[in-house]
Structure 1
Amino acid sequence: MTPAQIERTPFADLDGQPSEMTAMLLAALDEMGRHPEILRVRQTAVRALRPEAGQRLLDAGSGAGDVSRWLAAEMGPTGEVLAVDSSSATIAVARQRHDGSNVDYRTGDVCALDLAADSFDGVWCERVLQHVDDAERGISELVRITRPGGRICLIDTDWGSLAFDGVPPGLARQVMELMHGRLTPKQYDMGRTLRRRLVARGLTQVTATPVTCLFATPASAAVVLPMINPLVGQDAWMAPPGVRDEWFSHVDAAGARGDFLAVLTIWVVAGSVGQ
């Protein structure tokens, strides 16, 4: 997510970006997926989803399919994963990376799935709902296609939890206000709302786990946090002149001193569809 987007982020419309931007965003997703804190979030999520051998799972908003292939490996040769993403460019990359596991890749809209009701044993949906136009419709679709007793695991960010140390507090507040002011409510607080949304749909055995991601260096934070990434330029910031440069001077100084800190909570929420 870039702090300049209000209605739709680049990740929500990868096919609408110039090819160079699409390649850059896919590379960013790859790097995020390798980050130890994101891996920790995913390990928490797979425990909440509880995949079993022989199940059929949906990876909704699958990106380049890394999680889909991991889930397929978790379930063994009798399991099956359908990886669905709205971006045809991303699905093409996923197919190129296919490792022979039991994964099928398709383009599709999470909010309007061309899939039969009660046809999956479980659903994984990671950091997707903050980007879709209608998260309520998307969750309803995920519930619809899950069989009674099946598990749904939703993972999403709570950008309101973002906090920093090692930089001037007033400047940090200004930077966060700039970002928060460019996010829609669904982008800002999606993570913290997931439990309520599943409870409202009658799911049972609902678990909600906040995973606080800690970034102790600017380089680590830059992989996940756009306002720490020096590749996000002034145009994307849409900040008053000088703010970006001042911010990065303090971030770099904190990194050099060894006292930089950033924290962000990502929620892992799962529940069982009613029998």
Structure 2
Amino acid sequence: MATDVPANAFRELDRANPEIQRVREVAIAALHLAPGQRILDAGAGTGEVARLLATRLCDSGAIVALDASEEAIAVARERDEGSCVQYICGDVTAMDFADGWFDAVRCERVLLHLGDPDAAVAELARVTRPGGRVCLVDTDWESVAVDGLPRPLVARVREHLLATVVGQHLDMGRTLRRRLHRAGLAEVTAVPVALYFPDPIAAAAVLPMVNPMVPAEAGLIPGDLREDWFGALGEAGERGDFLATLTMWVASGTV
């Protein structure tokens, strides 16, 4: 079994990637933000999106950034420069908030890693007021595709990645709409956002198996293939015929 790499580590790598920012803009629009609202960012990592939400609300609202990692929350507090964001360490499946406390909640790339994602969705809905919005963002890792490299090599690396280190629910993105329906939300929509990477450098921030800076101990690439894999990536980048795609989903609904 490969060594697990924490989700927060990958999110730290891709936090400024323009393709991820494009997905986040779709998600922010789905929240229907208004001045004075209380917003929850569940699984906030180091808090960059929560601080962005604070600027969109012109500091007239209250934003809680919650994450299970004490380390991530500590970094988030260090990076904050006086925003209205409150940082809390907690479990998204059992939050210490009253029913209907928030006007809107968002949860990005968390459900993929949970043993019971539906329990988390139910909890997110519980803490959202009637008429409030719940927005979920997650990846469909089975959609990952790479071109410009030898097909047998791509097939082996892809199979290894999906089997060992990505997460417990490879199809999470495409299941978000169903999960919101089952949680009783109304006006549920789901938007697929195709991420496009025209070179290995652009892809490396989001696709960890393309990033040579991720250590071999992480187990993302089979040991006997690592040299061939990164050699082929470099050659494809030099030729200019590399391509990688990945689909993320933004699903939202009204409580």
TM-score between the two structures when normalised by the length of structure 1: 0.88
1:101 aligns with 2:83: yes
Supply the distance in 2 between the matched residues of 1:241 and 1:53 (Cα, whole angstroms).
Answer: 52
Secondary structure of the structure 2 residue equivalent to 1:50: coil
- Aligned position for 1:112: 94
Deviation at 1:183, TM superposition (A): 4.8
Deviation at 1:45, TM superposition (A): 0.7
- Counterpart of 1:214, as a letter, is Y
- Aligned position for 1:272: 254
- Counterpart of 2:187, as a letter, is Q
Are the structure 2 counterparts of residues 121 and 241 from structure 1 closer, same or farther at C-alpha, using a change threshold of 3 Å? Answer: closer
Supply the distance in 2 between the matched residues of 1:251 and 1:78 (Cα, whole angstroms).
Answer: 47
The unaligned stretches of length 5 or more in structure 1 are 15-24
Supply the distance in 2 between the matched residues of 1:227 and 1:239 (Cα, whole angstroms).
Answer: 6
- Aligned position for 1:194: 176
Contact 2:161 2:220 in 1 (8 A): no
- Counterpart of 2:115, as a letter, is D
Name which of 232, 237, 253 aligns with 1:255: 237
Secondary structure of the structure 1 residue equivalent to 2:246: strand
Are the structure 2 counterparts of residues 241 and 197 from structure 1 closer, same or farther at C-alpha, using a change threshold of 3 Å? Answer: closer
Supply the distance in 1 between the matched residues of 2:11 and 2:127 (Cα, whole angstroms).
Answer: 27
- Aligned position for 2:6: 11
Supply the distance in 2 between the matched residues of 1:180 and 1:37 (Cα, whole angstroms).
Answer: 21
Supply the distance in 2 between the matched residues of 1:259 and 1:139 (Cα, whole angstroms).
Answer: 40
Supply the distance in 2 between the matched residues of 1:109 and 1:242 (Cα, whole angstroms).
Answer: 38
Deviation at 1:31, TM superposition (A): 3.5
* Percent of residue pairs bearing the same amino acid type: 49
Are the structure 2 counterparts of residues 224 and 63 from structure 1 closer, same or farther at C-alpha, using a change threshold of 3 Å? Answer: same
CA RMSD across the alignment: 1.8
Supply the distance in 2 between the matched residues of 1:260 and 1:252 (Cα, whole angstroms).
Answer: 9
Deviation at 1:245, TM superposition (A): 1.1
Are the structure 2 counterparts of residues 230 and 179 from structure 1 closer, same or farther at C-alpha, using a change threshold of 3 Å? Answer: same
Paired residues, what number? 255
1:47 aligns with 2:29: yes
After the TM superposition, which residues 210-249 of structure 1 pair with which residues of structure 2 at under 5 Å, given as runs?
Answer: 210-237=192-219, 241-249=223-231
- Aligned position for 2:42: 60
The unaligned stretches of length 5 or more in structure 2 are none
Supply the distance in 1 between the matched residues of 2:12 and 2:156 (Cα, whole angstroms).
Answer: 30
Are the structure 2 counterparts of residues 242 and 216 from structure 1 closer, same or farther at C-alpha, using a change threshold of 3 Å? Answer: same
